[in-house]
A and B are shown apart, each in its own frame.
Chain A
Amino acid sequence: MSGVRRRTSPRDSAPARPPIRFGDDPLLWASWLYYQEGMTQGEIAEEMGASRPTVNAYLADARARGIVNIAISSEHMRSVTLARALEDQFGLESCLVVPSHGGARSLIDKVGHAAAGILPMMVHSGDTLAITWGRTMLSMAQAARLDGLRDVTVVQATGGTTAKIPYSPESCATRLADNIGARCVPISAPAIVSSAQARNMLVQEPVIAEQLTYLSRLDRVVFGVSSLRPNSTIHSSGFFDSALQQHDFYVSAVGSLAGQFMDAQGAPVTGPLSDRFIGLSLDELRRVPSRMLVAAGVDKVQPILASLRGGYVTTLVIDSDTAAGILRTLDVRLSRYISSSRDKPDTPPDETTEAPTRNLVKKFLNDPRDVVNEAMEGALAAFPDHIMAIDDSVRAIGARTPRPQGKVGVVIGGGAGHEPAFLGFVGQGLADAVAVGNVFASPPPDRILTCTRFADQGAGVLYVYGNYTGDVMNFDMASDLAAAEGINVRTIRTTDDVASSGFEDRDARRGTAGNVFVFKVAGAASARMEPLAEVERLTRKANAACHTIGVALEPCSMPETRRPSFVLGAQDLEFGVGVHGEPGVQRQKLAAADRIMDEVCDQLFTAMKLGTGQRVAVLVNSLGGTPMIELMVLNRRLQQRLNACGAQAHMTLVGHYCTSLDMVGASITLMALDEELAALLDAPCDGFAWTRNAVMKQA
């Protein structure tokens, strides 16, 4: 454009008049310079002789008054709709659909460049990333640019080829590594070798074996997919010449992924090549946390669909025609993803639970849906002497300590969000295994059964968990399944939360921090090699002796919503809270710590009929957000009150034992002790949240 001259006038000079064609309208002038001339706001400010904030305000005003309309072209709009539909249908973390038409690039380069654009969001310092091969992968590798990362490793996902193709596994991996400043690990073997014997020898070669270990600890994988059409990469690459002559073995295959065949549902199709393949297996690929498929072309609808159905994909980059083809195959109505109107009944406004108008709570999170698995992985890495994953779910966790034949197994569990409960109480003298659910949701029966089998040493298994509807159903189902396998299971549901139900209705109460003492007694009794009936009796007795009251000063917030679970005024506290972020039984005015503790003591002492000479175990527990210093202040008053009552604290625990995410607050548990229970609490134990050495008996 001509007609715009750079003014060099200083900022403090009088504002310039708009050129005549903009009339007297500075909004129009600013908009023209910004949207048509592509000038920055700073340059416009200089041009117009106005300040930058003024220009910013002009531009906002121009949009608000309709001088500027921002329209997204229908082709791009369609892409967004398709992406939403695909994300929804296949539970993808993200999906990018690029328009199939328009622009100078080939279809493969369109998706290749789009995928390269996603890499900065996907790859981070310290990552190990695998890449397969093919035209699309090479296009992405060529377009990729990443600066400022360190310790990134790019691994070739499969062995190589000698075929004269530019997009071989070797060149895709080296090109990507070069362009993102990563170290490249090749696989120094062919992808398909001549026999199973040759394969077995090669994978034991130290150099190759070492290279292959990278494939077992990938953080990301980027892959393409090939159709079995005559002109597809799989035919021209020279990989599978023999395989395709043995077509009978692969009739059910619809495509190939990382050099392996899969059927329409994404299940691997085995054949003569299966035991001659060197590289990332489909099962291994599916276990990589972040998995990006980049593919374009309607001939790939079937293999892409198979990859999605097989659960191989977390991020999809695709072109719009192919995306539409997939959705047509599934008979998905796109209108569902365009209109947001829905048929739902009106809920009346509810003042007391009105959603709070405040910002999202800040948390250390990646994808909130991954928070439990990532936390478990972190815990397993932190406490390898105490806990281990029983299977590859990282949600069924067992003790490292030996489990002698004839010892009763103790299985605990519940929802996540209570850390260090419950996995911190797995170990010597504590529980044998823990089943971990989603945040505040019970684990499913299969996982509990896995723990049960692990814990069973022929003497039966005791389940100990909090008395919640979901946990009761899932553990009961697991118990039935275990019984069908001949494992004798007994169950104790903890019910220590005094606030949740009347004193007379003990069985309806919930289990909260008292769990910790009940687990300890069960673990100690089982370590003493008591029979199941006796372990059950002692654990039941421990539960009956435990009484807990929780007080919250601030609500907690779930990782998925990051919003407070209830609203608490600046001068309010919530008395009688549980451990799932639910409101308590009573809202009260905030008071001094000693006065709050006095009310807790009044209720607890009454509930347990505490009297002179009674020995108790004490747990002053943070609900997550309350620091140690305040817990110690609370404990000071608690011990004063126990003394005043003539009771004696036999053991005191202060800290984070059974939390409710980030709830600010504390719970107080008192457990009435007799000789039998005291001896069990005194026994040594070793879980990562509670280690106790053998104690010297006091004189």
Chain B
Amino acid sequence: MTSIPNAGAAQILREISATIVENKAWLSEIDGKIGDGDHGVNMAKGFGRAAERTPPDASLTEALQTLSDVLMAEIGGSMGPLYGMMFSDMADALGDIDQIDATSFARMLRAGLDGVQEIGSAKKGDKTLLDTLIPAVETFEAHLAMGDSFGVSLAAMRKAAQDGRDSTLDMVARIGRSARLGERSRGVLDAGASSCALILSGFADEITARLENA
């Protein structure tokens, strides 16, 4: 199969939410090393509430919009608006399409990235979630342009997201609250980059499973 139905794809986001909730303690722990240690708590709160309010038979578009609403209206902090914009723009990019294929997924990823960049001022290398998101989006687009299948491109995106996350280990934070630590922020993963890798890996795994089982 080369595409998955949009209807019922809310289940993908419910699985991702479950992963975020499972990793709550870990995300808070890495955040605590250079930030204030609440990333996991806030992410789990937002994703958990959204999953609860999303019926399993909803479309991915609807699920993304619900998640965005919860993050924007109830979570606050910096991750609320950043991920809120990302998911809202992803939802807009999908719109009311019936089938999600590689092209529409690429459009969704790119819109999400644009959304984050529009609201935040970080750049690649600043030790933020963009260090996961940018290489992941660019890798997916590159593989698609080379003519690779949806599944192959997803696998490449998954790898790029995880490499991107790991690249933050050796970076010095240049934005956000950890920036004032300067050199002292080196040697720790960025919490936002880590949660972003969980989200993108979740998309890759869940879509791949549906493509194979279809």
Binding site for B on A (CB under 8 A): 88-91, 309, 330-331, 336, 342, 344-345, 347-348, 350, 352-353, 415, 437-446, 468-470, 473-474, 476-477, 499-501, 510, 558, 560-561, 563, 565, 578, 580-583, 585
Contact = CB atoms under 8 A, between A and B. Distances in A.
A438 B77 contact: yes
Given A350-B33, A470-B81, A582-B180, 18 more contacts: A88-B48, A331-B56, A342-B26, A347-B30, A347-B169, A348-B187, A353-B33, A353-B34, A437-B76, A441-B42, A441-B76, A444-B72, A444-B74, A444-B75, A445-B72, A474-B80, A477-B81, A563-B32
B153 interface: no
Contacts of A350: 33, 187-188
B36 A473 contact: no
B78 A473 contact: yes
B179 to A, nearest CB: 8
B148 interface: no
A439 B38 contact: yes
B177 A443 contact: no
A578 B180 CA distance: 9
Interface size range of chain B in the complex: 35 or more
B182 A473 contact: no
Given A342-B26, A438-B77, A565 B52 contact: no
B188 A353 contact: yes
Contact of A558 (B38, B119, B182): B38
Given A473-B81, A585-B182, A560 B76 contact: no
B26 A510 contact: no
A506 to B, nearest CB: 15
Nearest to B45: A91
Contacts of A442: 76-78, 80
Contact of A88 (B21, B165, B181): B21
Contact of A474 (B34, B76, B176): B76
A564 to B, nearest CB: 10
B104 interface: no
A469 B180 contact: no
15 contacts: A344-B23, A345-B166, A347-B188, A350-B188, A352-B184, A441-B78, A444-B76, A445-B73, A470-B80, A474-B76, A477-B119, A560-B41, A565-B37, A582-B181, A583-B184
Nearest to B201: A343
B37 A561 contact: yes
Contacts of B41: 560
Interface in B30-56: 30, 32-38, 41-42, 45, 48-49, 52-53, 56
Contacts of B95: none
B82 interface: yes
Interface string B172-214: 0001111011101001110000000000000000000000000
Contacts of A510: 180
A581 B36 contact: yes
B134 interface: no
Contacts of B78: 441-442, 468-470, 473
Contacts of A581: 36
Contact of A473 (B33, B45, B56, B119): B119
B96 interface: no
A336 B22 contact: yes
A474 B26 CA distance: 26
B189 A560 contact: no
Interface of B: 11, 18, 21-23, 26, 28, 30, 32-38, 41-42, 45, 48-49, 52-53, 56, 72-82, 119-120, 162, 165-166, 169, 175-178, 180-182, 184, 187-189
Given A470-B81, A500-B180, A582-B181, A558 B36 contact: yes
A585 B38 contact: no
**Which A-B residue pairs are the 10 nearest by beta carbons?**
A470-B78, A441-B77, A473-B81, A444-B76, A353-B33, A470-B77, A469-B78, A437-B76, A469-B176, A440-B36
A439 to B, nearest CB: 7
Contacts of B33: 350, 353
Which of A446, A469, A560, A580 has the largest number of chain B CB atoms within 10 A? A469
A603 B80 CA distance: 36
Contacts of A578: 177, 180
Given A440-B36, A444-B80, A585-B182, A91 B49 contact: yes
B189 A347 contact: yes
Given A336-B22, A342-B22, A470 B188 contact: no
Contacts of B42: 438, 441
Nearest to A352: B184
A561 B32 CA distance: 10
A441 B26 contact: no
B38 A90 contact: no
Contacts of B176: 469
Nearest to A587: B184
Contacts of B175: 469
Given A347-B30, A473-B78, A582-B177, A309 B162 contact: no
Contacts of A352: 184
B23 A342 contact: yes
Contacts of A89: 48, 52
B25 to A, nearest CB: 9
B26 A437 contact: no
Nearest to B18: A336
Contacts of A439: 38
Nearest to A556: B36
B52 A309 contact: yes
Contacts of A91: 45, 48-49, 52
Contacts of A582: 35-36, 177-178, 180-181
Contact of A446 (B73, B82, B119): B73
A560 B189 CA distance: 22
Contact of B38 (A331, A443, A444, A560): A560
A558 B81 contact: no
Given A342-B22, A561-B32, A582-B177, A469 B188 contact: no
A473 B75 CA distance: 13
B87 to A, nearest CB: 15
A501 B182 CA distance: 10
Contacts of B166: 345
A565 B53 CA distance: 34
Contact of A445 (B28, B37, B81, B182): B81
A401 to B, nearest CB: 27
Contacts of A499: 180
Contacts of A438: 38, 42, 76-77
A476 B82 CA distance: 12
Contacts of B28: 561
A473 B119 CA distance: 7
Nearest to B176: A469
Contacts of B82: 473
Contacts of B37: 558, 560-561, 565
B108 to A, nearest CB: 22
B177 to A, nearest CB: 6
A469 B178 CA distance: 11
A353 B186 CA distance: 11
A333 to B, nearest CB: 8
Contacts of A469: 78, 120, 175-177
A440 B72 contact: no
B142 to A, nearest CB: 24
B66 to A, nearest CB: 12
Contacts of A336: 18, 22
Contact of B76 (A353, A470, A500): A470
